[in-house]
Structure 1
Amino acid sequence: MIFDEFSFKSLIRPVVDFPKPGVIFRDITPLFQSPKALRLVMDSFVQRYIDSDFTHVGAMDARGFLIGSIIAYELNKPLVLFRKQGKLPADVLSEGYQTEYGEAFLEVHADSLCDGDAVVMFDDLIATGGTLIAAANLIRRMGAKVHEAAAIIDLPELGGSQRLQDMEIPTFCLTQFALTDK
Protein backbone atom coordinates (compact mmCIF):
# COMPACT_ATOMS: atom_id res chain seq x y z
CA MET A 1 0.00 0.00 0.00
CA ILE A 2 1.21 3.47 -0.83
CA PHE A 3 0.50 6.21 1.70
CA ASP A 4 -1.78 8.82 0.17
CA GLU A 5 -2.15 11.84 2.46
CA PHE A 6 -5.16 13.17 0.59
CA SER A 7 -7.23 9.99 0.73
CA PHE A 8 -6.69 9.47 4.45
CA LYS A 9 -7.06 13.21 5.13
CA SER A 10 -10.58 13.07 3.67
CA LEU A 11 -11.46 10.62 6.47
CA ILE A 12 -10.74 13.22 9.16
CA ARG A 13 -14.15 14.66 9.90
CA PRO A 14 -14.48 18.40 10.61
CA VAL A 15 -17.02 19.09 13.35
CA VAL A 16 -17.94 22.77 13.32
CA ASP A 17 -18.56 24.60 16.63
CA PHE A 18 -17.33 21.74 18.83
CA PRO A 19 -16.58 21.87 21.71
CA LYS A 20 -17.44 25.56 21.53
CA PRO A 21 -18.55 28.07 18.89
CA GLY A 22 -15.88 29.02 16.38
CA VAL A 23 -13.84 25.81 16.76
CA ILE A 24 -13.52 23.19 14.01
CA PHE A 25 -12.81 19.91 15.82
CA ARG A 26 -10.77 17.36 13.84
CA ASP A 27 -12.40 13.99 14.49
CA ILE A 28 -10.12 11.03 13.71
CA THR A 29 -12.67 8.32 14.53
CA PRO A 30 -13.50 7.74 10.83
CA LEU A 31 -9.82 6.79 10.32
CA PHE A 32 -10.28 4.04 12.90
CA GLN A 33 -13.44 2.85 11.16
CA SER A 34 -11.48 2.23 7.95
CA PRO A 35 -9.11 -0.75 8.34
CA LYS A 36 -7.12 0.37 5.29
CA ALA A 37 -6.70 3.95 6.52
CA LEU A 38 -5.79 2.79 10.03
CA ARG A 39 -3.16 0.44 8.63
CA LEU A 40 -1.72 3.15 6.37
CA VAL A 41 -1.47 5.63 9.25
CA MET A 42 0.05 3.15 11.71
CA ASP A 43 2.41 1.66 9.13
CA SER A 44 3.65 5.18 8.36
CA PHE A 45 4.52 5.71 12.02
CA VAL A 46 6.04 2.23 12.37
CA GLN A 47 8.26 2.77 9.32
CA ARG A 48 9.41 6.13 10.68
CA TYR A 49 10.42 4.74 14.07
CA ILE A 50 11.40 1.12 13.41
CA ASP A 51 15.13 1.89 13.35
CA SER A 52 15.04 4.86 15.75
CA ASP A 53 16.99 4.91 18.98
CA PHE A 54 14.32 5.34 21.66
CA THR A 55 13.18 3.17 24.57
CA HIS A 56 9.50 4.01 25.26
CA VAL A 57 6.30 5.12 23.57
CA GLY A 58 4.37 7.85 25.39
CA ALA A 59 0.64 8.14 24.71
CA MET A 60 -1.52 11.16 25.54
CA ASP A 61 -4.99 10.78 27.06
CA ALA A 62 -7.20 9.83 25.29
CA ARG A 63 -6.91 9.62 21.51
CA GLY A 64 -3.14 9.31 21.76
CA PHE A 65 -3.76 5.99 23.52
CA LEU A 66 -5.21 4.59 20.30
CA ILE A 67 -2.08 5.45 18.35
CA GLY A 68 0.54 4.85 21.02
CA SER A 69 -0.69 1.40 22.00
CA ILE A 70 -0.53 0.15 18.41
CA ILE A 71 2.94 1.62 17.87
CA ALA A 72 4.25 0.23 21.19
CA TYR A 73 2.94 -3.21 20.24
CA GLU A 74 4.34 -3.11 16.70
CA LEU A 75 7.77 -1.89 17.83
CA ASN A 76 7.89 -3.98 21.01
CA LYS A 77 8.40 -0.94 23.25
CA PRO A 78 7.01 -0.19 26.72
CA LEU A 79 3.98 2.12 26.72
CA VAL A 80 3.78 5.08 29.12
CA LEU A 81 0.33 6.59 29.64
CA PHE A 82 -0.04 10.31 30.25
CA ARG A 83 -3.47 10.78 31.83
CA LYS A 84 -5.81 13.54 32.81
CA GLN A 85 -5.69 14.40 36.51
CA GLY A 86 -7.05 11.82 38.94
CA LYS A 87 -7.06 8.80 36.58
CA LEU A 88 -3.89 6.96 37.68
CA PRO A 89 -3.94 4.74 40.80
CA ALA A 90 -0.32 4.88 42.02
CA ASP A 91 2.13 7.69 42.88
CA VAL A 92 2.10 10.31 40.13
CA LEU A 93 3.93 13.35 38.90
CA SER A 94 1.64 16.16 37.79
CA GLU A 95 2.10 19.08 35.39
CA GLY A 96 -0.30 21.94 34.75
CA TYR A 97 -0.77 23.34 31.26
CA GLN A 98 -3.00 25.56 29.16
CA THR A 99 -5.31 24.06 26.56
CA GLU A 100 -7.24 25.78 23.82
CA TYR A 101 -10.20 25.74 26.22
CA GLY A 102 -8.69 26.43 29.67
CA GLU A 103 -6.29 24.98 32.23
CA ALA A 104 -5.71 21.26 32.83
CA PHE A 105 -3.29 18.87 34.54
CA LEU A 106 -1.48 15.90 33.07
CA GLU A 107 -0.19 13.04 35.21
CA VAL A 108 2.09 10.04 34.79
CA HIS A 109 3.09 7.26 37.16
CA ALA A 110 6.25 8.46 38.93
CA ASP A 111 8.07 5.18 38.21
CA SER A 112 7.33 5.08 34.45
CA LEU A 113 10.73 6.25 33.24
CA CYS A 114 14.35 6.34 34.38
CA ASP A 115 17.54 8.22 33.59
CA GLY A 116 18.63 7.46 30.04
CA ASP A 117 15.19 6.52 28.71
CA ALA A 118 14.05 8.19 25.48
CA VAL A 119 10.39 8.64 24.57
CA VAL A 120 8.47 9.18 21.35
CA MET A 121 5.26 10.96 22.39
CA PHE A 122 2.01 10.35 20.43
CA ASP A 123 -1.22 12.30 20.27
CA ASP A 124 -3.91 12.65 17.65
CA LEU A 125 -3.03 16.25 16.88
CA ILE A 126 -0.78 19.13 17.79
CA ALA A 127 -2.70 22.34 18.40
CA THR A 128 -1.24 24.68 21.04
CA GLY A 129 1.14 21.92 22.13
CA GLY A 130 0.03 22.16 25.77
CA THR A 131 -0.48 18.45 26.38
CA LEU A 132 2.74 17.40 24.67
CA ILE A 133 4.74 20.14 26.41
CA ALA A 134 3.36 19.04 29.79
CA ALA A 135 4.30 15.43 28.95
CA ALA A 136 7.78 16.53 27.87
CA ASN A 137 8.24 18.36 31.17
CA LEU A 138 7.16 15.23 33.07
CA ILE A 139 9.53 13.06 31.01
CA ARG A 140 12.43 15.39 31.75
CA ARG A 141 11.54 15.51 35.48
CA MET A 142 12.02 11.71 35.54
CA GLY A 143 15.50 12.08 33.99
CA ALA A 144 14.48 10.81 30.56
CA LYS A 145 14.55 12.65 27.25
CA VAL A 146 12.06 13.26 24.48
CA HIS A 147 13.06 11.69 21.18
CA GLU A 148 10.20 13.25 19.18
CA ALA A 149 6.56 14.36 19.37
CA ALA A 150 4.32 12.73 16.76
CA ALA A 151 0.70 13.15 15.72
CA ILE A 152 -1.60 12.48 12.83
CA ILE A 153 -2.56 16.16 12.47
CA ASP A 154 -0.77 19.47 12.94
CA LEU A 155 -2.67 22.75 13.29
CA PRO A 156 0.35 25.01 12.66
CA GLU A 157 -1.55 28.28 13.10
CA LEU A 158 -2.00 27.47 16.80
CA GLY A 159 1.79 27.32 17.24
CA GLY A 160 2.18 24.03 19.11
CA SER A 161 4.72 22.48 16.77
CA GLN A 162 6.80 25.64 16.91
CA ARG A 163 6.60 25.73 20.72
CA LEU A 164 7.83 22.13 20.85
CA GLN A 165 10.64 22.86 18.41
CA ASP A 166 11.61 25.90 20.50
CA MET A 167 12.05 23.41 23.38
CA GLU A 168 14.36 21.37 21.09
CA ILE A 169 11.71 18.67 20.62
CA PRO A 170 11.43 17.54 17.00
CA THR A 171 7.89 17.03 15.71
CA PHE A 172 6.42 14.77 13.06
CA CYS A 173 2.86 14.90 11.72
CA LEU A 174 1.29 13.02 8.84
CA THR A 175 -0.83 15.97 7.68
CA GLN A 176 -1.90 19.48 8.62
CA PHE A 177 -4.99 21.64 8.44
CA ALA A 178 -5.48 25.39 8.40
CA LEU A 179 -7.88 26.55 11.10
CA THR A 180 -10.47 27.48 8.48
CA ASP A 181 -10.28 24.24 6.42
CA LYS A 182 -13.65 22.47 6.40
Structure 2
Amino acid sequence: MNLKDHIRHVPDFPKPGILFYDISTLLAHAAAWAEAMRQVKEAVAPLKPDLLVGIESRGFLVAAPLALSLGIGFVMVRKKNKLPGAVVSHSYDLEYGSDTIEIQEGAVAKGQRVVILDDLLATGGTMTAAVDLCRKVGAEVVGTNYLIELSFLNGRQRLADKGVGVHSLMVYDS
Protein backbone atom coordinates (compact mmCIF):
# COMPACT_ATOMS: atom_id res chain seq x y z
CA MET A 1 0.00 0.00 0.00
CA ASN A 2 1.32 3.44 -0.92
CA LEU A 3 0.61 5.60 2.13
CA LYS A 4 1.23 8.78 0.14
CA ASP A 5 -2.00 8.01 -1.73
CA HIS A 6 -3.80 8.77 1.55
CA ILE A 7 -2.24 12.18 2.21
CA ARG A 8 -4.25 15.15 1.01
CA HIS A 9 -2.34 18.18 -0.27
CA VAL A 10 -3.97 21.49 0.63
CA PRO A 11 -2.44 24.51 -1.14
CA ASP A 12 -2.20 27.90 0.57
CA PHE A 13 -2.89 26.59 4.08
CA PRO A 14 -2.43 27.94 6.69
CA LYS A 15 -1.23 30.88 4.61
CA PRO A 16 -0.54 31.63 0.93
CA GLY A 17 2.44 29.79 -0.52
CA ILE A 18 2.33 26.89 1.96
CA LEU A 19 1.41 23.38 0.81
CA PHE A 20 -0.15 21.56 3.78
CA TYR A 21 0.19 17.77 3.99
CA ASP A 22 -3.07 16.69 5.63
CA ILE A 23 -3.03 13.37 7.53
CA SER A 24 -6.78 13.44 8.26
CA THR A 25 -7.42 11.46 5.06
CA LEU A 26 -4.94 8.81 6.26
CA LEU A 27 -6.65 8.66 9.64
CA ALA A 28 -10.06 8.27 7.97
CA HIS A 29 -8.96 5.21 5.96
CA ALA A 30 -8.83 2.30 8.43
CA ALA A 31 -6.59 0.03 6.34
CA ALA A 32 -4.11 2.81 5.52
CA TRP A 33 -4.01 3.99 9.15
CA ALA A 34 -3.46 0.43 10.36
CA GLU A 35 -0.62 0.00 7.86
CA ALA A 36 0.96 3.30 8.92
CA MET A 37 0.82 2.29 12.58
CA ARG A 38 2.26 -1.14 11.74
CA GLN A 39 5.20 0.51 10.00
CA VAL A 40 5.78 2.98 12.84
CA LYS A 41 5.71 0.12 15.36
CA GLU A 42 8.21 -1.81 13.24
CA ALA A 43 10.57 1.19 13.30
CA VAL A 44 10.14 2.10 16.99
CA ALA A 45 10.06 -1.31 18.71
CA PRO A 46 13.76 -2.16 18.07
CA LEU A 47 14.74 1.06 19.91
CA LYS A 48 13.33 -0.50 23.10
CA PRO A 49 11.81 2.68 24.52
CA ASP A 50 10.43 2.82 28.06
CA LEU A 51 8.06 5.63 27.07
CA LEU A 52 6.76 7.35 23.98
CA VAL A 53 6.53 11.13 23.95
CA GLY A 54 4.03 12.83 21.65
CA ILE A 55 4.20 16.47 20.60
CA GLU A 56 0.97 18.48 20.68
CA SER A 57 -1.31 17.79 19.03
CA ARG A 58 -1.02 15.51 16.03
CA GLY A 59 1.93 13.70 17.59
CA PHE A 60 -0.56 12.43 20.19
CA LEU A 61 -2.47 10.64 17.41
CA VAL A 62 0.58 8.53 16.61
CA ALA A 63 2.27 8.14 19.99
CA ALA A 64 -0.70 7.22 22.20
CA PRO A 65 -2.00 4.22 20.21
CA LEU A 66 1.55 3.05 19.52
CA ALA A 67 2.41 3.16 23.24
CA LEU A 68 -0.69 1.07 23.96
CA SER A 69 0.32 -1.42 21.25
CA LEU A 70 3.87 -1.66 22.63
CA GLY A 71 2.65 -1.97 26.22
CA ILE A 72 4.50 1.12 27.41
CA GLY A 73 3.56 4.57 28.69
CA PHE A 74 2.78 7.74 26.78
CA VAL A 75 3.73 11.28 27.83
CA MET A 76 2.59 14.57 26.32
CA VAL A 77 4.71 17.57 25.40
CA ARG A 78 2.40 20.56 25.14
CA LYS A 79 2.47 24.29 24.63
CA LYS A 80 2.80 26.51 27.69
CA ASN A 81 -0.05 26.47 30.23
CA LYS A 82 -1.83 23.42 28.75
CA LEU A 83 -0.75 20.80 31.31
CA PRO A 84 -2.05 20.65 34.90
CA GLY A 85 0.23 20.52 37.92
CA ALA A 86 3.93 21.16 38.14
CA VAL A 87 5.71 21.29 34.79
CA VAL A 88 9.19 21.66 33.36
CA SER A 89 9.38 24.27 30.60
CA HIS A 90 11.71 24.85 27.70
CA SER A 91 11.69 28.01 25.58
CA TYR A 92 13.14 28.07 22.10
CA ASP A 93 13.57 30.47 19.21
CA LEU A 94 11.47 30.41 16.07
CA GLU A 95 12.15 32.20 12.80
CA TYR A 96 10.08 35.15 14.04
CA GLY A 97 9.89 35.06 17.83
CA SER A 98 9.93 32.29 20.42
CA ASP A 99 7.74 29.60 21.94
CA THR A 100 7.64 27.44 25.06
CA ILE A 101 6.80 23.76 25.47
CA GLU A 102 6.26 21.86 28.69
CA ILE A 103 6.20 18.36 30.15
CA GLN A 104 4.72 17.36 33.49
CA GLU A 105 7.23 17.16 36.29
CA GLY A 106 8.00 13.52 37.11
CA ALA A 107 6.41 12.15 33.92
CA VAL A 108 9.79 10.82 32.79
CA ALA A 109 12.22 9.21 35.22
CA LYS A 110 15.91 9.94 34.86
CA GLY A 111 17.51 7.49 32.43
CA GLN A 112 14.27 6.32 30.80
CA ARG A 113 14.60 5.62 27.08
CA VAL A 114 12.14 7.69 25.04
CA VAL A 115 11.17 8.01 21.40
CA ILE A 116 9.54 11.30 20.48
CA LEU A 117 6.82 11.23 17.81
CA ASP A 118 5.09 13.83 15.68
CA ASP A 119 3.10 13.76 12.48
CA LEU A 120 5.49 15.91 10.44
CA LEU A 121 9.17 16.86 10.36
CA ALA A 122 9.75 20.20 8.65
CA THR A 123 12.56 22.44 9.95
CA GLY A 124 12.92 20.43 13.15
CA GLY A 125 12.55 23.41 15.46
CA THR A 126 9.81 22.03 17.69
CA MET A 127 11.29 18.53 17.71
CA THR A 128 14.73 19.87 18.62
CA ALA A 129 13.10 21.73 21.50
CA ALA A 130 11.27 18.55 22.58
CA VAL A 131 14.58 16.65 22.52
CA ASP A 132 16.16 19.36 24.69
CA LEU A 133 13.19 19.29 27.08
CA CYS A 134 13.27 15.50 27.42
CA ARG A 135 17.00 15.57 28.07
CA LYS A 136 16.47 18.37 30.60
CA VAL A 137 14.26 16.03 32.67
CA GLY A 138 16.81 13.21 32.39
CA ALA A 139 15.44 11.12 29.52
CA GLU A 140 17.66 9.28 27.08
CA VAL A 141 16.22 10.21 23.66
CA VAL A 142 16.81 7.11 21.53
CA GLY A 143 15.02 8.32 18.39
CA THR A 144 12.35 10.41 16.73
CA ASN A 145 9.62 9.25 14.38
CA TYR A 146 7.26 10.95 11.91
CA LEU A 147 4.56 10.05 9.47
CA ILE A 148 5.79 12.69 7.00
CA GLU A 149 9.14 14.39 6.44
CA LEU A 150 9.67 17.45 4.24
CA SER A 151 13.31 16.72 3.45
CA PHE A 152 13.88 20.02 1.63
CA LEU A 153 13.51 21.89 4.95
CA ASN A 154 16.52 20.06 6.48
CA GLY A 155 14.98 19.09 9.83
CA ARG A 156 16.78 15.74 9.70
CA GLN A 157 20.17 17.48 9.72
CA ARG A 158 19.17 19.68 12.63
CA LEU A 159 18.33 16.57 14.67
CA ALA A 160 21.47 14.75 13.52
CA ASP A 161 23.43 17.71 14.87
CA LYS A 162 21.79 16.90 18.25
CA GLY A 163 22.80 13.25 17.91
CA VAL A 164 19.24 12.03 17.43
CA GLY A 165 18.05 9.51 14.86
CA VAL A 166 15.13 10.18 12.52
CA HIS A 167 12.70 7.74 10.97
CA SER A 168 9.92 8.90 8.62
CA LEU A 169 7.31 6.81 6.83
CA MET A 170 6.86 9.19 3.91
CA VAL A 171 9.39 11.68 2.57
CA TYR A 172 8.57 14.58 0.26
CA ASP A 173 11.49 16.19 -1.56
CA SER A 174 9.68 19.36 -2.63
Distance between the aligned counterparts of 2:31 and 2:143, measured in 1? Answer: 26
Query: AA paired with 1:68?
Result: A
Listed one character per residue, the Cα deviations across residues 98-152 of structure 1 (whole Å, up to 9, x for unaligned) are 4567532211102111221011110001001111111111111111111101001
Given candidates 10, 13, 36, the residue that maps to 1:15 is 10
Q: What's the secondary structure of 1:83's corresponding residue? A: strand
Structure 1 residue corresponding to 2:38, chosen from 39, 43, 51? 43
Q: Does 1:26 align with 2:17?
A: no
| Cα separation, 1, equivalents of 2:113 and 2:56 | 19
- 1:108 has 2:69 as partner: no
Larger relative strand fraction: 2
The one-letter code sitting in structure 1 at the alignment partner of 2:55 is: M
What does residue 149 of structure 1 align with? 144
TM-score, length basis structure 1: 0.90
Contact 2:92 2:129 in 1 (8 A): yes
Q: 1:10 to 1:99 in 2, by over 3 A?
A: farther
Unaligned runs of at least 5 residues, structure 2: none
Equivalence for 2:71: 76
Aligned alpha-carbon RMSD (Å): 1.4
Asked if 2 retains the 8 angstrom alpha-carbon contact of 1:64 and 1:122, the reply is yes
**How many pairs does the alignment contain?**
174
TM norm structure 2: 0.94
User: Which residue identity lines up with residue 106 of structure 1 in the other structure?
Assistant: I
Paired residues of 2:148 and 2:172 also in contact (CA < 8 A): yes
For the residues of structure 1 that align with 2:126 and 2:23, how far apart are their CA atoms? Answer: 18
Partner of 2:121: 126
Q: 2:38 aligned with 1:56, yes or no?
A: no
Once the two structures are superposed, the pairs formed by residues 88-107 of structure 1 within 5 Å of their partners are 88-99=83-94, 103-107=98-102
Contact 1:84 1:106 in 2 (8 A): yes
Relative to structure 1, the CA distance from residue 69 to residue 101 in structure 2 (aligned partners, 3 Å threshold; closer, same or farther) is farther
